[in-house]
Amino acid sequence: MPTAKRILTVSNLQSGVRRAEPMVWLSAGAVVFALLVLIGLLSLLSIRGLTHFWPQPLHFIQSIQSGHPAQLGVILDRETEQSLNLSRVLLHRGGEDFFDSPLLWVDESAALQRSVPKNALVIERISLGPIYGFLHSLQIGEQTRSLGELSLEDQLAVLRDATDADSAALRRGAASIFGVRLASGGIVNVPLADVKAAYAPNAMLMHEKIAHFASALGRFLSESPRRSNVQGGVFPAILGTVILVLLMAVIVSPLGVLAAIYLQEYAQRGPLTRLVRIAVNNLAGVPSIVYGVFGLGFFVYAVGGSLDTLLFEDRLPAPTLGTPGMLWAALTMALLTLPVVIVSTEEGLARVPSSLREGSLALGATRAETLWHVVLPAASPAVLTGLILAVARATGEVAPLLLVGVAKYAPGLPVSAEYPYLHLDRQFMHLGFYVYDLGFQSTHLETVEGLVFATALLLVVIALLLNIAAVVLRSRLRNAFKPQEAI
């Protein structure tokens, strides 16, 4: 009997497959393909981005190549040519102020010696890039202490003591200098006040690497960028992105809902209404840079310039509001996403059963009360669907922001403890522009490639979190108004 039941089940499944429409399988295949693409994208960004914060080993390579006999650095890439029996590695040797280029291709076949020295240190500097070398000496005032003969633990203890917050007085000493020996044997001096952190990646245990990873990731999320954005964190860009999206949502939601209410509930059906709907649908396909040009000309120069003449005449010719800033960027992004909210809200209003309107009117409610207390709550999931789509698009848009407010580096945050607390006239940083700037404006892309992937992953995560919050709210509203839809 069990065998017969199993055969019957398989037969039913096969017959169901034969009867299934091809479009069903094509649709299911498209969903699976989309999920695989999404998983692949997130996996690529996670692997390439998060490894940027993991301590990478330092390799010491002594080569017979002329010009660079001994090098110490991190291997970024490897190339192999089977036909020529050639294998070479791209070495990031740090110290951009000591070398013509921090990157160097080294032929592995020409290497006389290759090792991973335990006492090799990574010294992160505040003003310039990292230095890879060996600790040599510490000079405090007129006294010089040799550190080369100390153990690695003692060297790191000296570094920690010297760079600790309790040693602020030592940091102010102009003659407090670390001597670092490079792989080539040369000694370079590093001011103590310029040392951000120092660690020995080759000697780290697993728990130390995990702690370093967490610390580096925390600094990335909480610190401001340094050195043309190639070092430091992205906190100002995170804050600017979130505030821009929230401010855009606050502006576009009432405008889009009111426009949809008029088109669906009040406007007469006719050629003019159809023309307006066609125009709204066409606006959704206009390139985003066109909105940026319009925002620059209308919001910044026309509106902002007029407000400067009326309110800030004493500050002219220096503009106050007639310059790109957070407010104009939010208005431009609201205009960019307005068609999405209008179309989604109008479709939601059209799906509300007419029996709900008629029942409310029959009970004595006015048309406005029916719209506010019955129709809009029932259509709120569709409103939030449009808002989700608007947030998703606004989070990743960069082109219009180049013209109406975004900056490579903004010293002042959009929010502060100073009145009026939210500074809408200030320029701001954005994660999308941060990715663009790192990927296309950096001198050595290979050195910041991991940072580009990490920032892109952070942008995707922020967009995902904002969308999840809107989806959860939409789900709760949909469940709350299920009884009304069933009446």
Model pLDDT for residues 172-218, shown as the tens digit of each residue: 544 578 888 888 888 888 888 788 888 899 999 999 999 999 999 99
Do residues 305 and 200 share a domain? no
pLDDT at 187: 87
Q: Give the residue numbers spanning the domain of 127.
A: 121-212
Say whether 480 sits in a helix, a strand or coil.
helix
| Average per-residue pLDDT for the chain | 83
pLDDT recorded at residue 96: 78
Between 354 and 209, the higher pLDDT residue: 209
Residue 381 and residue 411 in contact, taking contact as beta carbons nearer than 8 Å: no
Bigger pLDDT: 180 vs 443: 180
- Tell me what the mean pLDDT of segment 109-133 comes to: 85
Is residue 40 domain-resident? no
- Nearby residues of 403 by Cβ (< 8 Å), 6 or more positions away: 289, 292, 293, 295, 296, 324
Element (H, E) at 291: helix 288-294
Of 220, 234, 216, 222, nearest in space to 409 by CA: 234
Cα 204 to the chain's mean position, in Å? 30
My answer on whether omega of the bond before 201 falls inside 30° of 0, hence cis, is no
User: How many CB atoms within 10 Å of residue 295?
Assistant: 27
CB count within 10 Å of CB 252 equals: 27
CATH code (residue 247): 1.10.3720.10
Residue 370 and residue 476 share a domain:
yes
Which pLDDT belongs to residue 232? Answer: 85
Let me know if residue 144 belongs to a domain. yes
| Separation between Cα atoms, residue 402 and residue 383, nearest integer Å | 29
Q: Is residue 472 part of a domain?
A: yes
Looking at 128-132, 287-291, 408-412, which range is the least confident one?
408-412
Q: What 3-state DSSP class applies to 38?
A: helix
CA 6 to CA 268: how far, in whole Å?
A: 62
User: 331 near 317, Cβ under 8 Å?
Assistant: no
pLDDT class of 3 with cuts at 50, 70, 90: low
Same domain, 355 and 379: yes
Is 132 in the same domain as 111? Answer: no
Residue 479 lies in a domain: yes
Q: In the numeric block, which tokens belong to residue 131?
A: 């230095």
Nearest to 56 by CA among 213, 185, 195: 213
Residue 193 lies in a domain: yes
CA angle centred on 156, ends 161 and 199, rounded to 5°: 115
Quick check: is 48 in a domain? no
User: Does 334 reside within a domain?
Assistant: yes
Query: Are the C-beta atoms of residues 378 and 359 closer than 8 Å to each other?
Result: no
Residues 98 and 150 in one domain: no
Q: Tell me whether residue 29 is exposed, middle or buried, using C-beta atoms within 10 angstroms of its C-beta: 0 to 12, 13 to 18, 19 or more.
A: exposed
Reported as a pLDDT band with limits 50, 70 and 90, residue 404 is very high
Q: Is residue 131 within 8 Å of residue 188, measured between CB atoms?
A: yes
Question: Do 139 and 167 have their domain in common?
Answer: yes
Q: Around Cβ 302, how many Cβ atoms within 10 Å?
A: 12
**Minimum mean pLDDT range among 162-176, 228-242, 291-305, 462-476:** 162-176
Going by C-alpha positions, the residue among 7, 76, 64 that lies closest to residue 451 is 76
Q: Are residues 90 and 128 in the same domain?
A: no
Residues 139, 284: one domain?
A: no
Instruction: State the total domains in the chain.
Output: 3
Instruction: Tell me the C-alpha distance between 76 and 90, whole Å.
Output: 6
The answer on 261 and 134 residing in a single domain is no
Using the predicted structure, report yes or no on whether residue 150 has a pLDDT greater than 90: no
Bridge partners, 178 (sequence order): 138, 190
484 pLDDT more than 50: no
Look at residue 256 in the predicted model and tell me its pLDDT.
92
pTM, 2 dp:
0.84
- Per residue, what are the HEC states of 48-104? HHHHHHCCCCCEEEEECCCCCCEEEEEEEEEEEECCCCEEEEEEECECCCCCCCCEE
Q: What is the spatial distance between Cα 139 and Cα 178, in angstroms, rounded to a whole number? A: 6
Does residue 52 form part of some domain? Answer: no
Note the Cα 110 to chain centre separation in Å. 41
Let me know if 34 is exposed, middle or buried by CB neighbors in 10 A (0-12, 13-18, 19+): exposed
pLDDT of residue 335: 93
The token pair at 390 is: 């608007």
Q: φ and ψ at 320, to 5 degrees?
A: -110, -60
Same domain, 349 and 433: yes
Same domain flag for 394 and 271: yes
Among the listed residues 480, 396, 485, the one whose alpha carbon sits nearest the alpha carbon of residue 436: 396
| Top-confidence residue, 207 or 152 | 207
Residues 109 and 148 in one domain: no
Domain edge (last residue) among 85, 115, 145: 115
Quickly count: other Cβ atoms within 10 Å of residue 210's Cβ. Answer: 13
Residue 486 has pLDDT above 50, yes or no: no
Q: Find the mean pLDDT for residues 114-123.
A: 89
